Chain A
Amino acid sequence: MKHIVSLLMENEAGGLSRVAGLFSSRGYNIESLTVAATEDPTMSRMTIVTSGSDEVIEQIIKQLNKLIDVIKVLDLNDGKYIERELMLVKVKATTPHREEMKRMCDIFRGRIIDVAYGSFTIELTGSGTKLDAFIESLDKTAILETVRTGASGIGRGDRILKI
């Protein structure tokens, strides 16, 4: 099953490689990993999208906790959470398909952030599945380029990951 794991760690050089190294050396799946400093610049927050059986996820959480620089780990799937990802898609937009493309973008509540003679660049945020659905609904030959940030996640309501 897919899991979203959030963690806080010391914002120090090499932190990312410790986490990435753990996943590769122990053979865990990693779908996406995002990291940036938090409002407290001594800490960074990571969101890792991974998958595995319950036993594997349990080991992943334990192994992450074991890293000396990791301060706190939370499996967002243990409760309610929100997941958002940003995607930029460059699509072919030549008449007569320009209108159609714009309509698709509106349906998915995307924004056209760059317009050129034969193309649009669309910005879209949402859950991973929503972004997948958008790609699915496009004519494959119309897609020139896509770039995704990987998911960021946060607990709902008063589920807070903080020290």
Chain B
Amino acid sequence: MATSAKNAKVNPVSAQTQSESLGDSHKKSTSHDISGAEIVIRCLNAEKVKFVFGYPGGAVLHIYDEIFKQNGFKHILVRHEQAAVHAADAFSRATGEVGVALVTSGPGATNAVTGIATAYMDSIPLVVISGQVPVPAIGLDAFQEVDMVGITRPCVKHNFLVKDVRDIAATIKKAFYIASTGRPGPVVVDIPKDITAHKTSFHYPETVEMRSYNPVLKGHTGQIKKAIKLLLEAKRPMIYTGGGLVLGDGATELVKLARILNYPVTNTLMGLGGYPATDKQFVGMLGMHGTYEANMAMQNCDVLIAVGARFDDRVIGNPKHFLSQKRTIIHIDVDPSSISKRVKVDVPIVGHVQSVLAEMNALLATEVNQTGKSTKNDISDWWAQINEWRKVHGGRYEMSDTVIKPQYVIEKLWEVTKGDAYVTSDVGQHQMWAAQYYKFDKPRRWINSGGLGTMGVGLPYAMGCQFADKNAQVACVTGEGSIQMNIQELSTCAQYGLPIKVILLNNRYLGMVRQWQEFFYENRYSESYMDSLPDFVKLAESYGHVGMQITKPSDVESALKEAFAKKDKFVFMDFITEQSENVFPMVENGRGISEMILGDEKKESK
């Protein structure tokens, strides 16, 4: 597949000419030549990669031999390739850098696919290097051969099969460039084993220019001006931001904009932390499990500005219902295909959030200076309405002094960590409670799988975060179903001494599935009970970690304090929580986002 540098201008161009016959390049090696495997390492060093998450195997042994000899980056040996990719993914989410994973051919490669697809759905920049059988063996059903480029095509931003040692450097350069620019995403570089043995000279290109790939950075000024005019004339404005604001590091500019305008802000699940949750202009997350006020404001606003958010089906509910209310939509997104995909947009602005928002803020400032007019648009009626909505549900849940409420654990987690932890989660009810009750004030602190919703990400995500920031508090909020999908990583955490705190909200159910079965399948809990659970305390201890089981609400806070006081220990906290607790508010499938179930009515109908 697309491998060679021949069609892209790569500067400075490798001294080697491309006209030599392909197969025998390795025979013409000179004393300056190094192996493909060493080139891979040198490229990663040139990219200043700090961690490579991986797992060895036959096809990548040459590369592992070079890893043994170098100390430019640290290799983290996981226990399953899926976890390698998740950890690299979380490292990227936490730092903004490109995450790197390395896996062998065949089963190593297929194990990595879930991780790649997870990163793809949430637009996370990764470079995944996979080993491949030697070029002459490709297509012959060789041992551990799998068509990695074919398998990953629908879930990568791009992928490459490198068939010539002289293409390795340019391809890796392109991979990092493609992964991290425009709408970010994972890039797979599949390298046959013989290519890593062949030798050539090494030149790492400093820049890449590709005639077929030129992501837009700057927004169209005319469109931006139009947007500002609309915003200033709005009666019921709403700012809706998503993962793109976090990925594009646009939070500072957004806070500026929101403060100038004094407009309400909501975040998607992926966008949490993009606007400080403790700020009074924040109305909470929106969507299927969003707050009453966020969903009502989203439905009833007259001017909506979407910033790096993609009108997901879990966000707008039934599109017909959403469109039944007239509103003008401004949409900032770096990917033109995100715009007008599910909802027709009036003012599209293709560009990077940071650059577009900065231009907006600058234009707003000059507008004030030149016209003397204030940008303070009076929307006090709208705020009054929103404050009424705030009282309707207000995130309440029933407390109990006998059984632990999962929401309570998260509230206490927020207090004990002073709102400053990296919080990763798995997928299910616990994920929603973490999103609803941990108030994220900073971007890149909330790490979860939104688009693919991959159970099993929580623990490897926590590893990625802890490597990203070794002194930070890292909490992994999980369920007893999800944690078992990558539980083997307890071993990796032991090997590297990662002081992660696992917050297991143990409801003995695949709770999210159970909730749907309760609501839509008349309580027929088909295969959603989690039987034969391990003793998590002993399990954790068997790896040398600290295990705790907490059963009483009165112990929650003290246990959390005790755990987080163990600064250098991995602590596994098994909270035995209310089994039948449901996530509210909830928008049922096919309903409009303003048609929420708030909880009380469900209880009555039971």
Contact = CB atoms under 8 A, between A and B. Distances in A.
A12 B2 contact: yes
A58 interface: yes
Interface stretch (B152-160, B388-396, B573-581): B152-160
B290 to A, nearest CB: 26
Given A25-B154, A62-B336, A63-B337, A68 B149 contact: no
B157 A68 contact: yes
A21 B6 CA distance: 25
SS class, residues of chain B in contact with chain A:
loop
Interface residues of B, number: 24
A23 to B, nearest CB: 12
Given A12-B4, A15-B2, A65-B337, 13 more contacts: A10-B2, A17-B150, A17-B153, A21-B154, A58-B340, A62-B336, A63-B337, A65-B336, A66-B336, A68-B210, A68-B213, A71-B211, A71-B212
A130 interface: no
A41 B475 CA distance: 54
25 contacts: A10-B2, A11-B7, A12-B1, A12-B2, A12-B4, A12-B7, A13-B161, A14-B2, A14-B149, A17-B150, A25-B154, A42-B7, A58-B340, A59-B337, A59-B341, A62-B336, A62-B337, A66-B337, A68-B2, A68-B158, A68-B178, A69-B2, A69-B212, A70-B212, A163-B211
Given A42-B7, A68-B158, A68-B212, A14 B178 contact: no
B268 interface: no
B155 to A, nearest CB: 10
A68 B212 CA distance: 6
A139 interface: no
Interface in A1-18: 9-15, 17-18
Given A10-B2, A12-B1, A25-B154, A66 B7 contact: no
B424 interface: no
Contacts of A70: 212
Interface centre among B1, B2, B213 (most CB of A within 10 A): B2
B212 A9 contact: yes
Nearest to A21: B153
A14 B212 contact: no
B3 interface: yes
Contacts, number: 53
Contacts of A10: 2, 7, 212
Interface residues of A, number: 24
B593 to A, nearest CB: 21
A55 interface: yes
B212 A12 contact: no
B335 interface: yes
Contacts of A66: 335-337
Interface string B136-154: 0000000000000110011
Interface string B173-193: 000001000000000000000
A18 B153 contact: yes
Interface string A65-85: 110111100000000000000
Nearest to A26: B154
A71 B8 CA distance: 11
Contacts of A11: 7
A59 B7 CA distance: 27
Contact of B1 (A13, A21, A59): A13
Interface in A101-132: none
A12 B160 CA distance: 11
A141 B341 CA distance: 47
A38 to B, nearest CB: 13
A7 to B, nearest CB: 10
A143 B128 CA distance: 53
Interface in B201-248: 210-213
Contacts of B157: 68
A155 to B, nearest CB: 20
Contacts of B161: 13-14
